[in-house]
Amino acid sequence: MEVTIIGCGYVGLVTATCLASIGHMVRGVEKDAQKLKTLQEGHCPIFEAMLADLMKEQCRAGRLRFAGDVSSAVRDAEMVFLCVGSPPKPDGTVDLSYLDDAVAELCEALQGRIGGHMMPVVVKSTVPPGTSRRVSRILREKTKANIEVVDNPEFLREGSAVKDFLEPERIVIGTESPDAMRMMRRLYDPVIQRPESFLTMNWESAELTKYAANAMLAARISFMNEMTILCEGYGADIEAMRQALGLDHRIGPWFLKGGVGYGGSCFPKDVAALEHISRNVGHESLFVRAILAVNSGQKTRFFRKLVAKLGRPIQQAQIAVWGLAFKAETDDIRESPAIDIIRYLLDAQAYVRATDPKAIPNMKRVFGDRVEWCEDPMTAAADADAVAILTDWPQYCTLSYEKVAAVMKRPVLFDGRNCLHPEMMKEAGFEYHSMGRPAVDRRV
């Protein structure tokens, strides 16, 4: 099929590349001139496992091309995806201006198209219930093209997005058109593992499913973070509790890790949006509000623990921050807990030396020269009063901590991701503080 993707950000680029890899002819539209140049040169502008190589392969094969003009890109399209951003406004509501602009450009591009074969316009962006219905109304009023709107939310995890697209657990299709549903089935046919995983519903159900899924996962994380407070108060171990809970088949082991809080491009904004979506129907969601409050409080609690257990005044202390991305295997810092915690440290007049395998360039745009940027964890830890782990990169688990201790002023480590073993830290001579587990006193 001839497919046009409007918006080549994270979701759009993964969607375009993966659709090309299963045989479709894909044109990606990107308005940012610098990013467009990067894409047209065959380079991937984001770090995502497997994506760069797959993108180059599809560009060389001629199945994936990029342009800056919507009109030329949709001229021969059988299907158009809208993959533009839907960021939060300051009040937590969803900013739909990028989507509205894309719809307006699409209307203009389709002015010469009258009737003809039906073309699905697929809303891939995460949008509040009622948005696809509104987009459908606009397209019908402003064009004479034969168009049916589909809502097709994405369920991509950063770090494994290519695998998630090509081996999906479910594909959700929101539409009121049987013909559009059949075209979507044809589009995705090469990756549908089981017939029951291809789910069709109305627009509002599909739109709300995306928010419900992310809020449910965020709730599990926030619940376990709430439990870390009780574990520390009573001397319990959150890791032992997590294993016991995970073996209950009604609960399962996923998203049960205690830590410094969730971040990323989806959970924070989607949970905040769900609170406003609830208010739109006259409901104050105490449950959703609690998810937000617990997650925010966990970052503050980590900082306060660091200040209380540091063993010296925080002012002028040198703190090594390991991990800047909101999770491992990505360079995405959107809503990363590291942003708030570094800000707390700087406001308290501490010196921060930070490192991350992939996310330093992105975090530099936030803090500039207020932070000293280090290429590796050993350099960041040199002469530090403490190390704070804020992203659970696997390479942090395989270091020689005896050598890390030797280069620090004092071997004190605050593990915001519970990614190290307390006994290992004890043997290495560290004073070790994690989330919801008993502290380890220093044994030099």
CATH number at residue 369: 3.40.50.720
Q: Is 183 exposed, middle or buried (0-12, 13-18, 19+ CB in 10 A)?
A: buried
Identify the domain boundary among 132, 167, 201: 201
Does the structure show a pLDDT above 90 at 392?
A: yes
Question: What pLDDT shows up at residue 443?
Answer: 47
Beta bridge partners of 29: 6, 67
Residue 202 CA, chain-centre distance (Å), reads: 26
In this prediction, residues 35-49 reach a mean pLDDT of 95
pLDDT, averaged across the chain? 96
Number of structural domains found in the chain: 2
Expressed as residue numbers, the domain containing 386 is 202-444
In this prediction, residues 70-81 reach a mean pLDDT of 94
Q: What is the percent of the chain where pLDDT is above 90?
A: 96
Q: Give the whole-angstrom CA distance, residue 63 versus residue 47.
A: 21
Identify the domain boundary among 201, 230, 245: 201
Q: Is 423 exposed, middle or buried (0-12, 13-18, 19+ CB in 10 A)?
A: exposed
Question: What pLDDT shows up at residue 442?
Answer: 67
In this prediction, residues 345-352 reach a mean pLDDT of 98
- For 317-341, write each residue's pLDDT tens digit: 999 999 999 999 999 999 999 999 9
Identify the domain boundary among 182, 201, 220: 201
Q: Give the whole-angstrom CA distance, residue 269 versus residue 88.
A: 6
Same domain (yes/no): 45, 64? yes
Same domain (yes/no): 284, 388? yes
Same domain (yes/no): 405, 284? yes
Q: What is the percent of the chain where pLDDT is above 70?
A: 99
Does the structure show a pLDDT above 80 at 421?
A: yes
Same domain (yes/no): 224, 265? yes
Question: What pLDDT shows up at residue 157?
Answer: 94
- Select which of 18, 266, 374, 419 is catalytic: 266
Report which of residues 354 and 444 the model is more confident about.
Answer: 354
266 is catalytic: yes
Provide the angle, in degrees to the nearest 10, between the axes of the packed helices 51-61 and 10-21: 50
In this prediction, residues 107-129 reach a mean pLDDT of 92
- For 138-148, write each residue's pLDDT tens digit: 999 999 999 99
